[in-house]
Chain A
Amino acid sequence: MQNPIDNLNKLFDSRVRLGIMSALMVNEAVSFLELKELLEITDGNLASHLKALEENGIIKTHKGFIGRKTSTTYSSTKVGEKAFKSHVEALEKMIGGIK
């Protein structure tokens, strides 16, 4: 039998990345500021995790304007949603043992 650990995605091994994906799964698009507020982390920390997720095709970036201010929003890609779902399934299998 396959070990469920093999299905855990290395990309999601940080709490911040899990948090970003969780927010993007239930919202069409979330702004940088909203993510910062939700995760309670610094700009630089958030930006580096977002960059990593984007480079792996998990999320995509939209640049836009609210009035004169620039606003960057993020949303999950199809690939990202699939990867996240199988990651969550793997996590559920792992805790199946103590339920």
Chain B
Amino acid sequence: MNVQQQSLQDIQAIKKMMERSSRFISLSGLSGIFAGISALIGAVVAHPYVYGYKNLFIDNKLASRQLQSRDYTIILNTWLFWIATVTFASALILAFIFTLAKSKKQGIPLWGSSSKRLMINMMIPLIAAGFFVLKIFYLEAYGLFAPACLIFYGLALINASKYTLAEIRYLGYSQLILGIINLGFVGYGLYFWAAGFGVMHIFYGAYMWLKYERNVQEN
């Protein structure tokens, strides 16, 4: 091998190592699988409330008073708010537990420079999403809730994917595409939401687990 080829390979090795070392590699596929399962359970529980088979309000008398006085704390009096909160919290906690376990096993601290970068880049689109979703509720344009969640979450994943396992980018693309298609089928938000946050998380989580974690456990 001549000196030029040797140098070229050195440069390629440097580039590869710079890229690999700036990523958070402890993200567990199991986190995706369990976050997906809790999203699916949440969607099933929420279904009768979203489509009007069950009474939305926890306390009807209180709700009628709140409706008259246009009291926005009425949201705390809906089953959906609490279903969403429990679903979100359990998905987050489950995702955290499995990633913590993987980082312990790898001996990599969970709160290192790579995970900080990942979190910051993930949070920027999500904070913007928070404001956007508040406005959706204010305008009572509930049909836009699911597409907004999917689109902003997709953008957050694409933005953060530079700092973690490459598959996150494709998970981001699929959420984004589902969100955009959902804009054309506005009444079916819950189904798109379940497909994105449930099925896609489980699919990519399983793929990542098979690719990165199963073999490690066998060794």
Contact = CB atoms under 8 A, between A and B. Distances in A.
A54 B108 CA distance: 22
B129 to A, nearest CB: 29
A91 B10 contact: yes
Given A5-B3, A66-B109, A71-B109, A92 B11 contact: yes
Given A27-B113, A94-B4, A34 B21 contact: yes
A98 B4 contact: yes
A46 interface: no
A86 to B, nearest CB: 13
Kindly list the 3 A-B residue pairs having the minimum CB-CB distance in the complex, ordered from nearest: A23-B21, A22-B17, A33-B107
A19 B13 contact: yes
Contacts of B13: 15, 18-19, 22
Nearest to A39: B17
Interface string B6-22: 01101101110110111
B114 interface: yes
A30 interface: yes
Give chain B's interface secondary structure class: helix
A37 interface: yes
Contacts, number: 69
Interface in B94-135: 106-109, 112-114
Interface residues of B, number: 23
Given A22-B18, A27-B22, A98-B4, A37 B108 contact: yes
B7 A38 contact: no
Contacts of A25: 18
Interface of A: 5, 15, 18-19, 21-23, 25-31, 33-34, 37-39, 66, 71, 88, 91-92, 94-95, 97-98
A18 B17 contact: yes
A18 B18 contact: no
A94 B3 contact: yes
Contact of B25 (A23, A37, A92): A37
A43 to B, nearest CB: 12
Contact of A22 (B21, B109, B112, B113): B21
30 contacts: A15-B10, A15-B13, A18-B13, A18-B14, A19-B13, A21-B14, A22-B14, A22-B17, A22-B18, A23-B17, A23-B18, A23-B21, A27-B22, A27-B113, A30-B21, A33-B108, A34-B108, A34-B112, A37-B106, A38-B20, A66-B109, A71-B109, A91-B7, A92-B11, A94-B4, A94-B7, A95-B11, A97-B4, A98-B4, A98-B5
